[in-house]
């Protein structure tokens, strides 16, 4: 198994995730099961004003499509023709997306998507995605991106009650960080495409074999950073009760 994967799983096991446990930031004055990073976040929260989630760079929640296009051009120096507009036929939302080189220095290409709400037609959600398919980015670089972002986010002074770290989700992906501000706006950092711990152990045991090599090649980590204005009640299309 790749050494970067091994290091990541070792860190997760140290955080108590061998069986899918969840580590939350502890209340001030206690020891967090998420480790030193969450503890540092708590100390910082006590000394600084609480962190807020308002959007991504100069793109702020509540912006119209025209305002968003201007923000994207300003932030990344892109032409309007480099911004792709797509509609989600299920949620009835609209996305503006662009591929940005080295959004995270040395981290490879990222796909940044801005989602406009169904009713408001204004920014409600931003996704930033790093994956091999976007620019042949290596697994090592993708996982380094995840580690770098987790470290950065864990240092932000989010209210401790709204912080969660290192939680293995039901689909096998890993929630590296979740921070929620006083207005319930949320930032999420998730990595998917990793083998589950049991699968990783099998791949490690089969290292050097053809099967082990195939398993390693199948690992395709995807790092997703999301900024969400209203996770509990997103502005998407829903069939109203009693309509059918």
188 pLDDT more than 90: yes
Q: So what's the pLDDT on residue 194?
A: 81
Q: How far is CA 7 from CA 45, 132, 153, 195, 200, in A?
A: 29, 20, 20, 13, 12
218 pLDDT more than 70: no
Q: What is the dihedral of CA 113, 171, 107, 16, to 10 degrees?
A: 130
Beta strands in 4-62 (DSSP E): 23-24, 55-56, 59-60
Q: So what's the pLDDT on residue 199?
A: 52
Residue with the bigger pLDDT between 238 and 206: it is 238
Q: Residue 56: how many CA atoms within 13 Å on its side-chain side?
A: 22
Q: So what's the pLDDT on residue 210?
A: 55
Q: So what's the pLDDT on residue 171?
A: 87
- Which residue has tokens 């169904």? 118
Backbone angles phi, psi at 84, to 5 degrees: -95, 135
Question: Which of 29-43, 156-170, 228-242 is predicted with the least confidence, judged by mean pLDDT?
Answer: 29-43
10 pLDDT more than 90: no
What mean pLDDT, rounded, does the chain reach?
A: 82
Question: Which of 12-21, 89-98, 208-217, 222-231 is predicted with the least confidence, judged by mean pLDDT?
Answer: 12-21
Question: Which of 69-73, 213-217, 220-224, 232-236 is predicted with the least confidence, judged by mean pLDDT?
Answer: 213-217
Q: So what's the pLDDT on residue 3?
A: 53
Kindly give, in sequence order, each residue whose CB lies less than 8 Å from that of residue 19, ignoring residues fewer than 6 positions away: none
pLDDT tens per residue, range 24-56: 333 333 333 344 555 555 554 457 899 999 999
Please give the share of the chain, as a percent, with pLDDT higher than 70: 72
Please tell me the total number of residues recorded for the chain in this structure. 244
Q: So what's the pLDDT on residue 107?
A: 96
The three-point CA angle 190-161-117 to 5° equals 55
Task: Please tell me which of 13-22, 121-130, 213-222 the model is most confident about, judged by mean pLDDT.
Answer: 121-130
Q: Is 50 helix (H, G, I), strand (E, B) or coil?
A: coil
Residue with the bigger pLDDT between 171 and 114: it is 114
């Amino acid at each position: 198994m790749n050494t970067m994967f091994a290091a990541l799983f070792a860190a997760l096991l140290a955080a108590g995730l061998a069986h899918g446990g969840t580590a939350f930031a502890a209340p001030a004055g206690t020891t967090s099961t998420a480790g030193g990073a969450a503890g540092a976040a708590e100390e910082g929260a006590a000394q600084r004003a609480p962190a807020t989630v308002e959007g991504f760079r100069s793109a702020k929640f509540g912006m119209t499509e025209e305002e968003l296009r201007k923000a994207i051009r300003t932030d990344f120096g892109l032409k309007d023709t480099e911004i792709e507009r797509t509609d989600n036929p299920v949620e009835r939302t609209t996305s503006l997306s662009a591929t940005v080189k080295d959004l995270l220095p040395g981290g490879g290409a990222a796909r940044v998507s801005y989602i406009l709400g169904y009713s408001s037609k204004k920014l409600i959600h931003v996704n930033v995605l790093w994956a091999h398919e976007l620019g042949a980015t290596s697994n090592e670089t993708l996982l380094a991106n995840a580690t770098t972002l987790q470290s950065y986010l864990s240092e932000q002074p989010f209210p401790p009650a709204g912080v969660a770290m290192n939680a293995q989700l039901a689909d096998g992906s890993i929630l590296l960080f979740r921070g929620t501000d006083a207005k319930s706006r949320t930032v999420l950092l998730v990595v998917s495409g990793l083998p589950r711990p049991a699968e990783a152990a099998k791949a490690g045991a089969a290292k050097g074999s053809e099967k082990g090599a195939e398993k390693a090649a199948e690992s395709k980590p995807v790092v997703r950073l999301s900024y969400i204005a209203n996770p509990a009640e997103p502005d998407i299309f829903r069939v109203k009760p009693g309509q059918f």
